[in-house]
């Protein structure tokens, strides 16, 4: 399982090598998530309209290795944007990927930009 997880590496916007054109902004629900595929990765993308921001993270919840985070509930915890896994309610920061339950398992996050009505996700591969 370790090697499967190794493909998920957090990307900072300044380190982006490739902006992947994922889909039109109209393909994503407001204040909810949708999953896109990039190479072998599943990426959860969120249109967090209440914050007027977009976020992307791995779709894989590290707790039980389930591809479910795109179906998670978004919200905030002390002004930190977060996604809550729909299965066992682990909370993850959408800013840093940190596990907000204080556990070790964290998630990777990816930069998002919107241009001409399309959503782009930043990758290093």
> Binding segment for ligand FES among 5-13, 57-65, 91-99, 110-118 (CB under 6 A)?
57-65
Shortest distance, CB of residue 61 to ligand FES, whole angstroms?
Answer: 3
Range 18-47, binding ligand FES (CB under 6 A) = none
Please, where are the H alpha helices in the chain?
2-6
Shortest distance, CB of residue 120 to ligand FES, whole angstroms?
Answer: 27
Comparing CB distances to ligand FES, the nearer of 53 and 63 is 63
Comparing CB distances to ligand FES, the nearer of 9 and 87 is 87
CB 65 within 8 Å of CB 87: no
> Binding segment for ligand FES among 28-36, 40-48, 87-95, 109-117 (CB under 6 A)?
87-95
Residues 25 and 67: their CA atoms lie apart, in Å, by 22
Helix (H), strand (E) at residue 45? strand 41-48
Residues with Cβ < 8 Å from 48, sequence gap 6 or more?
31, 54, 55, 74, 81, 94
Instruction: Please report whether residue 71 would count as binding ligand FES according to CB under 6 A.
Output: no
Structure-token match 């999953």, residue found: 35
Pairing of strands 73-77, 91-93: unpaired
In the set 85, 94, 109, 121, which binds ligand FES (CB under 6 A)? Answer: 85
Footprint of ligand FES on this chain (CB under 6 A)?
Answer: 61, 63-64, 66, 85, 87-88, 90
């Amino acid at each position: 399982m370790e090697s499967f997880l190794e493909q998920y590496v957090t990307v900072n916007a300044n380190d982006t090598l490739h902006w992947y054109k994922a889909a039109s902004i109209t393909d994503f629900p407001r204040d909810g998530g949708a999953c896109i595929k990039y190479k072998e990765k599943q990426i959860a993308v969120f249109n967090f309209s209440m914050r007027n921001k977009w976020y992307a993270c791995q779709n894989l919840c590290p707790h039980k290795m389930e591809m479910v985070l795109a179906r998670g509930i978004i919200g905030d915890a002390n002004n930190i944007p977060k996604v809550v896994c729909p299965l066992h309610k682990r909370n993850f920061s959408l800013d840093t990927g940190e596990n907000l339950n204080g556990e070790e398992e964290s998630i990777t996050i990816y930069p998002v930009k919107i241009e001409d009505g399309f959503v782009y996700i930043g990758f290093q591969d």
